[in-house]
Chain A
Amino acid sequence: MSQLSTKHLLGIKQLTEQDIRTILSTAAKFKEVINRPIKKVPTLRDITIANLFFENSTRTRVSFELAQKRLSADVINFSSSSSSVKKGETLLDTVNNILAMKVDMVVMRHPSPGAPHFLAKHIDANIINAGDGTHEHPTQALLDAFSMQEKLGDLAGKKVLIAGDIMHSRVALSNIFCLRKLGAEITLCGPPTLIPQGIESLGVRIEYNIEKALAWCDVANILRIQLERQNTKYFPSLREYALTFGVNKKRVESLHKEIVIMHPGPINRGVEITSDVADSKHSIILDQVENGVAVRMAALFLLANKGIEN
């Protein structure tokens, strides 16, 4: 099986198109594995993985842990709020202490952009970025691409809408890098205060009218409003946000065509998306969750293999 061009999965930006295709095709095989009666394979036996979560997470942590257990890896979990880490021990000290116990791979979520890149300069273990602040969330983008491909086939020329809080979203940035590399067209939609100045330079369009944006797309990836990452008021109220940018049944039904609805979760029901859309037949939100395990198994498998060879 072909390998990746990188030792770490820090972000989609560092991956080649071939890397992405390798991970997605490997994920397809693992998806078949996790649907067998016996879901576990011995692939990563003797590999020890530390899941370091310096920021709250439920679904990503569970998804990684499940992927690791399905591959028979030994898993240790470490959770800490960022503030206590910031005030006390440095990130480097924390991680070096854990690595001193002979850990092969690190899966890290951290509130600060570039934290895994910083770590990669100082430690030997393979690192998977499970989200670094407002920067990247590469496995999410990979599972989104995988889920889109399942529905639409090859993504070249497909029209993807990413709607919501672009500025505070690591999912948006990783999606942009990933989908551009796979040849999809991208439009962003949201309040101008939540769209970074000059983002068109990354090869995307901007549309401020959600109805026009929905009418244009094949897939709509609706992002969560990241209230926890906003220290400033970027829009006046959730009510007004829902009125202007919320994806609701009326807006979806007025399209006269089928579009695929996605959301990386957790959903603010009634804000960026209403329940009747999130739970509708157009929605593949739960498929995304299932595919997340397969994609993460693929990433872990490919990186660990590389590590052993080195």
Chain B
Amino acid sequence: MKYRASNVIVVDPTSSFNGKKTDIIIENGSIITIEDAGTTEGDFYEIPVNGQYVLPGLCDLYADFCDPGFEFREDIHSGADAALRGGYTTVCVIPHTEPVIQNKSQVEYVLNQSKQVLVEILPYGTITANLDGKEPTEMYDMHQSGAIGFTDAPYSIKDAGVMLRALQYCKPFNGTIFTLPFDKTLVGEGQINEGKISLENGMKGISNLSETLQIQRDLEICKYTASRLHFFGISTAESVGLIRKAKQEGMQVTASVFLHHLVFTENEAADFDTNFKTMPPLRTEKDKNALIEGLREGTLDAICTQHTPLDTESKQLEFEYAEFGVIGLETAFQAAYTYLGETLGMEKLVQLMSFQPREIINKPLSGIQKEGVANLFFFNHEETSIIETGNIHSKSVNTPFLGKTLQGKITGIFCKNEWLMF
């Protein structure tokens, strides 16, 4: 069967057809023809996306699929469904499961489950056993089995010695340590950003210092070991400066930002809405703008969703008792297009949400060109979507976009030689 997407506009800065209206013909999971629109003839199964954008499948470096252990919040199948509807064809899942993913057989469980869905799901292994922050795991064995990297997220590594040894141990097999940087002793009982809203709401704040101090520590350790280190979800203006300096010094350091930090600020938590309770917390306008600038100038490498499904019982509570986290896979690209489209442009968003995350995990994508793998999605920028609990495909509905209207709609996706229209 040959599929044709006619008159679609390519958004792919790596493709010679970038920005052009094209006809794309796909057979056996590959792009066999890509030509100027209206020039292809033959007998095709027509994909109904005339006039829409076509973009490379997105890649998320940070999602929690809760499987195994917390399937009432999300499982591989519901998570994959949410991902596809958000334009994602690759999702890296953190090992925050029950039991945690800390050995070969657990890594293989996720990879086997991944074969049953259209999304490529890649597991991280934990750095420490049972996420206890102390005992090292069999990282080499997990690496050989397909673990994409190692992290203790959503926790940070409190013990500097543990971080040092993890970075050293990974070097022979070129493994990468991924860390969510915060100093737990400074976060303490903090609930939201330390600032105007924490003062007015009488809540303990989470200072910028709690993040920058940890980043400084980890950068020093990384400089000492000369290993590969990725910082997940940095959230402060000062952190951007630290990463910029480290890169100028030639360190093998990369950093990502969570999408919600690019859209919202601490002000959203003023009326105690737990759908804005995240870790790291939503910061100030100044931090938000610094993160966007960090992405624009290339200091920061990727935008992630930090997709963290939480059941209503964990969220519809007094603020202090509610858990940290929001979902994001389904809405990330639309939200990025709505809020950052003008500042960063679609091509940059594709770099930050598809190509660059794949580089970090060393899984490059061929892009939208002839003989490339058909790993792509279609986007109708003229439609809008209202985010309501009834139209969320994740098992959990803890999204900060509830009730908001996002510009554009993902209309279909093609990967693993299959396609879906929404």
Query: B298 — which chain A residues lie within 8 A by C-beta?
Result: none
Interface residues of A in 218-262 (CB under 8 A from B): 231-232
Q: Would B317 and A90 count as touching, CB distance under 8 A?
A: yes
- Once the chains bind, are B272 and A117 in contact (CB under 8 Å)? yes
Residue of A nearest to B313 (CB): A90
> Are the C-beta atoms of A134 and B202 separated by less than 8 Å?
yes
Judged by a CB distance under 8 angstroms, whether B320 is at the interface is: yes
Compute how far the CA of A198 lies from the CA of B209 in the bound complex, rounded to whole angstroms: 14
Cross-chain contact A113 with B320 (CB below 8 angstroms): yes
Supposing A197-B194, A197-B207, A198-B194 touch, asked if A113 and B316 sit within 8 A by C-beta, the answer is: no
Q: Using Cβ atoms and an 8 Å threshold, which residues of chain B touch A202?
A: 199-200
- CB atoms of A135 and B189 under 8 A apart: no
Contact with A along B179-221 (1 / 0, CB 8 A): 0000000001101001110111111110100000000000000
B319 on the interface (CB 8 Å rule)? yes
Say yes or no for A158: interface residue by CB 8 A criterion: no
From B196, B198, B200, B318, give the contact of A110 (CB < 8 A).
B318
In this complex, how many residues of chain A approach chain B with their Cβ under 8 Å: the count is: 27
Residue B109, interface by CB 8 Å: no
A198–B195 Cα distance when bound, in Å, is: 7
B321 part of interface (Cβ distance < 8 Å)? yes
- The answer to whether B271 and A13 touch across the interface, beta carbons within 8 angstroms, is no
Interface flags, B269-306, vs A, CB<8A=1, else 0? 00110000000000000000000000000000000000
Contact B318 A115 (CB under 8 A): yes
Residues of A within 8 A of B319 (CB): 112-114, 118
The distance in angstroms between the C-alpha atoms of A14 and B205, with both chains bound, is 21
Does the CB pair A197–B205 fall under 8 Å? Answer: yes
Contact B201 A118, beta carbon cutoff 8 Å: no
How distant is A68 from chain B, measured CB to nearest CB, in Å? 25
| Bound Cα distance A231, B313 (Å) | 26
Decide yes or no: A201 and B196 within 8 Å by CB, A113-B320, A114-B272, A232-B188 being known contacts: yes
User: In this assembly, does A41 line the interface, its C-beta being within 8 Å of a C-beta of chain B?
Assistant: no
Complex Cα distance, B271 from A118, in Å, reads 8
A112/B318 in contact, CB under 8 A: yes
Whether B194 pairs with A91 at a CB distance below 8 angstroms is: no
- When distances are taken between beta carbons in the complex, the residues of chain B under 8 Å from A201 are 196, 199
Known interface pairs A112-B319, A114-B318, A198-B194; A135-B199 also in contact (CB < 8 Å): no
In contact, A173 and B202 (Cβ under 8 angstroms): yes
Give chain A residues whose Cβ lies under 8 Å from the Cβ of B200.
13, 173, 202
Partner of A198, one of B189, B199, B202, B320: B199
Cβ of A196 within 8 Å of any chain B Cβ, yes or no, is yes
Asked whether, in the complex, the Cβ of B202 is within 8 Å of the Cβ of A199, the reply is no
List residues of chain A with CB within 8 A of the CB of B198.
Answer: 196
Question: In angstroms, how far is the closest chain B Cβ from the Cβ of A229?
Answer: 10
Q: Tell me whether A170 is interfacial, beta carbon within 8 Å.
A: yes
For residue A133, which residues in chain B have a CB less than 8 angstroms away from its CB? 202, 320
- Among B191, B194, B195, B272, the most chain A Cβ lie within 10 Å of the Cβ of B272
Q: For the complex, what is the distance from the CA of A231 to the CA of B196, rounded to whole Å?
A: 23
Report how far A196 CA is from B198 CA in the complex, Å: 9
Name the A residues within 8 Å of B194 (CB-CB).
197-198
- CB–CB B321/A113 < 8 A: no
Q: Bound state CA distance, A135 and B202, in angstroms?
A: 4
A76 within 8 A of B: no
Give the complex CA separation of A132 and B196 in angstroms. Answer: 18
Q: Are A135 and B201 in contact (CB under 8 A)?
A: yes
B203, B207, B313: the one within 8 Å of A113 (CB): B203
Convert A107-121 into 0s and 1s, putting 1 for each residue whose CB lies closer than 8 angstroms to a CB of B. 000101111011000
In the complex, which residues 163-208 of chain A have their Cβ closer than 8 Å to any Cβ of chain B?
170, 173, 196-199, 201-202
- How many whole Å from A274's CB to the nearest CB in chain B? 28
The answer, yes or no, to whether A36 is at the interface (CB within 8 Å) is no
- Smallest CB separation, A84 vs chain B (Å): 13
Choose one: A135, A170, A196, A231; the contact of B205 (CB below 8 Å).
Answer: A196
The answer to whether B199 and A170 touch across the interface, beta carbons within 8 angstroms, is: no
| Given known A-B contacts A197-B194, A201-B196, A136 and B320 have beta carbons under 8 A apart | no
Least CB separation from B189: chain A residue = A231
Task: Mark contacts of A9-33 with chain B using CB atoms, 8 A cut-off: 1 yes-contact digit, 0 otherwise.
Answer: 0000100000000000000000000
Structural contact, B317 and A91, CB atoms closer than 8 A = yes
CB–CB A86/B321 < 8 A: yes
With A and B bound together, what is the CA distance between A185 and B402 in angstroms?
41
| Max chain A Cβ within 10 angstroms of own Cβ: one of B201, B207, B271 | B201
* With known contacts A197-B194, A198-B194, A114–B207 Cβ distance under 8 A: no
Closest B residue to A134 by beta carbon equals B202
Q: Is A123 on the interface with B (CB-CB < 8 A)? A: no
**Bound CA span A110–B202, Å:** 13
* Nearest CB in chain B to that of A92: its residue: B316
> Which residue in B196, B205, B207, B318 is a CB contact (below 8 Å) of A118?
B318
Interchain residue pairs with CB less than 8 A apart (16): A91-B317, A113-B191, A114-B203, A114-B319, A118-B317, A118-B318, A134-B204, A135-B202, A136-B202, A173-B200, A197-B194, A197-B205, A197-B207, A198-B195, A198-B199, A201-B199
Ranked 6 nearest A-B pairs via Cβ: A135-B202, A114-B272, A112-B318, A112-B320, A134-B202, A115-B318
Other A-B pairs, 8, CB within 8 Å; known A114-B272, A115-B318, A134-B203: A112-B318, A113-B272, A136-B202, A173-B199, A197-B194, A197-B205, A199-B199, A202-B199
